[in-house]
Structure 1
Amino acid sequence: MAQFHMNVKAEPDPRFVFQFDGAPECSPQVFQLRGNIRQPVFTCKFNFRAADRNQRSRSLPSEHISAARSWLSSFGSERERPGKERKGWSITIHDLSGSPVAVASMVTPFVAGPGSDRVTRSNSGCWLILRPGDGTWKPWGRLEAWRERGSADGLGYRFELVHNSAASGGIVLAESTLSCSKGGKFVIDLNGNGATGMKPGSAATSPVCSPRSSGDFGYALWPYSLYKGFVMSAKVEGEGHSGKIAPLMVEVGVQHVNCMEDAAAFVALSAALDLSMDACRLFSHKLRKELCPPQDLLF
């Protein structure tokens, strides 16, 4: 079983550093970086929820599937607009034993606004981030994304922690815009100081204990008081990149990781934000084949 390793080094703001070994839609491995060491800790599985409805993962019990679908329907909004929608994307994070430890699922489709070829803020798409707790799946966070109009042409986003009730209001942890052409850094820093520069290969320190699973530590579903200072950051590529795409890099404050599921939730959130850059691409532009449902590739 993968563990987060300890690096005994005094730092004022210790962080775990994770690197995707490919684009999220390519179902990559995720590595933890410790200096020059890259250790695999997670695997990702991207799929289309509608197409995968009858193909249950061997590692996802049927009762978990039912619970997850219940949350997805209660938080989501089905909108049909043939030819101008992107829907059903889902990415599951597994630990190295194959057990699912977090899910990011598109619960509200990304559709073009009336008379437009872009996803507008009034018509934003939405992801729900789920994690296991008390023997079932429970909602942890909700990410909305849209494409801003005007000269900025940015990816607007809003992330909030949610309770296990769609009627309960969430607490917003991040709301900003990233450049669609250049990309940028998604940051949750409750001190308002911003994150330090992303440093591929920078050393990541670990908690005193190397966590294994949430069963060892318990999971507070509504842990607002636990989120202080720097929480996380993720570097997202824009549409205007040339040549090889830089791997998705994620930093998570050590104080916010007590178990594998904690880290996996932030990894799933980062993947959802990265995929939102594609989901908000102008509908006049084609998506990469990995992001197109199998039936669409026949035409």
Structure 2
Amino acid sequence: MDPCPFVRILVGNLALKYSIASKASQCFCKIKLKNFPTQYATVPLILQESQTHSSHDRTLAACFTLDKTHIDNYKLVGNGDNPVLQIAVYAGRRGAACGLMNGGKFLGTVEVEVDLRAVETRASNIHKGWVGVGGSNRKGSSAAQLHLSVRAEPDPRFVFQFDGGPECSPQVFQVHRDVRQAVFSCKFGFKNANDRSSLSGPSMSERNTSRSCLMGSHSRKDREIGKQRKGWQITVHDLAGSTVAMASMVTPFVPSQGSDSVSQSNPGAWLILRPGEGAWNPWGRLEAWRECSGTDSVGYRFHLLSDSDATATLASGAIVSKNGGKFSIDMTSSVGTTTPVHTPKSSCDFGSGSFSRSSRPSSRSGSGSGSELGYGPPPPQVHAGFVMSSTVERAGKRGLSQLEVEVGAQHVTCSEDAAVFVALAAAMDLSMDACAFFSKELREELRQ
């Protein structure tokens, strides 16, 4: 099936000309779009006419993602009215409660209409340049001018849904509009601690990176029965029954000394693997732990592994245990994200493309499944812009939960490409239980 239509609205390249003398050394703005949370961004201040907006200030200030439901709602409400961005500009510092600190000043609002019809098939530059802020033409007004760029671009994504929790060995469906089609099945199990055959082979054992990634550094005391959660494994199979991806718990989740939980200094870890030439190739490493703060959260960090023994951190953050949340890899620099990296100029001209690792050729030997999920040729940069996101259930959830995974279509050239993201989503969801307090007994499905 084809990917689902998504549209991203990107706001960036901000700067403010403010001619009236002011004590304000900082400016910020609130960026609003109906039915979306407000986003905030600082704005570089230009106080003198001799100053110009630097070409290097190409950072992204806000990003809004519209799925098909959002797009259809805009087309149905108000006789097809387009979404309108509202950018409220303030001189001064933003307070802790998102308000304005003493001595600050509200300068005005800029509104930009986004024509969704213009981005159905290709990216569109909605606005780029200077615009007057609020009542800047009135006598005694602030005479402020805001520089900004607004760009909208199609961002098709494959959407997958688990038909149950990962520990229940569910089927995984691809979703397109109102159609659900089974594409993968997951198998949850426990690997033998003394059997490393599933993670062995010349391509694995000869590499220093994989050797250090596979094994943890826990002491013998930590290996006592009941003091660790270990050996969990998720295998992802295609419809032919071939294994196309795997998530394997390679570092046990154990409580830190004198504690009842996994600490950040000694996190548990998963290795995400994909099939290669007769062996499993490590693709990524996910670490998780219990945060020490009073937020009752599970912290995480995901590294992308490479053949050159180098690693790149693609995601880091925390998810509240009792509520669950969303795990995402988004290589677009955006306020509020946990993995900000400049987007390449070829994507939205808001960044310098600081993450430019070349894509490796994808192996087809593991399943022979080819490109039934194919969507064009491999991209020149393996992870740029939106990569993936998945829902994460709260710790102690029941097996009827349905995870949803979105994967950027530009990152999927074959079934194995999609399968590794499905395996990663399952590992993150299971990490919520692996990081639960050890004084609480695990659900039966997770006990060996």
Normalising by structure 2, we get a TM-score of: 0.53
C-alpha distance in 1 between matches for 2:403 and 2:307? 29
Q: Does 1:116 align with 2:259?
A: yes
Other-structure match for 2:69 = none
Deviation at 1:164, TM superposition (A): 4.0
C-alpha distance in 1 between matches for 2:369 and 2:251? 33
Other-structure match for 2:429 = 274
Q: Does 1:16 align with 2:173?
A: no
Deviation at 1:153, TM superposition (A): 1.5
Q: 2:370 is matched with which residue: 210, 213, 221?
A: 213
1:169-194 Cα distance to aligned partner (Å, 9 max, x none):
30000010111111111111111347
Other-structure match for 2:186 = 44
Deviation at 1:245, TM superposition (A): 5.0
Unaligned 5+ runs, structure 1: 55-61, 196-210, 218-222, 294-299
The residue type paired with residue 130 of structure 1 is: L
Write the mapping of 1:1-299 to structure 2, written as runs, cut at 5 A: 4-5=1-2, 10=121, 12-50=154-192, 53=195, 66-67=200-201, 70=205, 74-75=212-213, 76-77=215-216, 79=218, 80=220, 81=222, 82=224, 83-164=226-307, 168-193=309-334, 212-213=369-370, 225-239=381-395, 245-293=400-448
C-alpha distance in 2 between matches for 1:259 and 1:140? 15
User: Quick check: 2:200–2:280 contact (8 Å CA) kept in 1?
Assistant: no
Deviation at 1:132, TM superposition (A): 1.3
User: Quick check: 1:30–1:41 contact (8 Å CA) kept in 2?
Assistant: yes
From the superposition, tell whether residues 244 and 51 of structure 1 become closer, same or farther in structure 2 (CA, over 3 Å).
Answer: closer
From the superposition, tell whether residues 69 and 287 of structure 1 become closer, same or farther in structure 2 (CA, over 3 Å).
Answer: farther
Deviation at 1:104, TM superposition (A): 0.4
C-alpha distance in 1 between matches for 2:240 and 2:391? 28
**Percent identical across equivalent pairs?**
54
Pick 1 or 2: higher relative contact order, CA cutoff 8 A, min separation 6. 1
C-alpha distance in 1 between matches for 2:315 and 2:3? 29
The residue type paired with residue 333 of structure 2 is: G
Deviation at 1:226, TM superposition (A): 1.8
SS at match of 1:268: helix
Deviation at 1:84, TM superposition (A): 1.3
C-alpha distance in 2 between matches for 1:176 and 1:161? 16
Deviation at 1:225, TM superposition (A): 2.4
The residue type paired with residue 389 of structure 2 is: S
The residue type paired with residue 167 of structure 2 is: E
The residue type paired with residue 443 of structure 2 is: R
From the superposition, tell whether residues 65 and 176 of structure 1 become closer, same or farther in structure 2 (CA, over 3 Å).
Answer: closer
From the superposition, tell whether residues 230 and 145 of structure 1 become closer, same or farther in structure 2 (CA, over 3 Å).
Answer: same
C-alpha distance in 2 between matches for 1:99 and 1:237? 28
SS at match of 2:418: helix
C-alpha distance in 2 between matches for 1:50 and 1:33? 35
User: Quick check: 1:138–1:164 contact (8 Å CA) kept in 2?
Assistant: no
Deviation at 1:151, TM superposition (A): 1.3
From the superposition, tell whether residues 150 and 245 of structure 1 become closer, same or farther in structure 2 (CA, over 3 Å).
Answer: farther
Residue-pair matches, total: 261
User: Quick check: 1:140–1:163 contact (8 Å CA) kept in 2?
Assistant: yes
C-alpha distance in 2 between matches for 1:26 and 1:106? 17
SS at match of 1:121: coil
The residue type paired with residue 277 of structure 1 is: M
C-alpha distance in 2 between matches for 1:169 and 1:284? 38
Deviation at 1:7, TM superposition (A): 6.8
From the superposition, tell whether residues 173 and 224 of structure 1 become closer, same or farther in structure 2 (CA, over 3 Å).
Answer: farther
C-alpha distance in 1 between matches for 2:395 and 2:411? 31
From the superposition, tell whether residues 289 and 144 of structure 1 become closer, same or farther in structure 2 (CA, over 3 Å).
Answer: same
1:213-261 Cα distance to aligned partner (Å, 9 max, x none):
27999xxxxx9922111000001011376x8853111000001000000
C-alpha distance in 1 between matches for 2:255 and 2:433? 13
User: Quick check: 1:28–1:43 contact (8 Å CA) kept in 2?
Assistant: yes
Other-structure match for 1:208 = none
From the superposition, tell whether residues 289 and 163 of structure 1 become closer, same or farther in structure 2 (CA, over 3 Å).
Answer: same
| CA RMSD across the alignment | 3.1
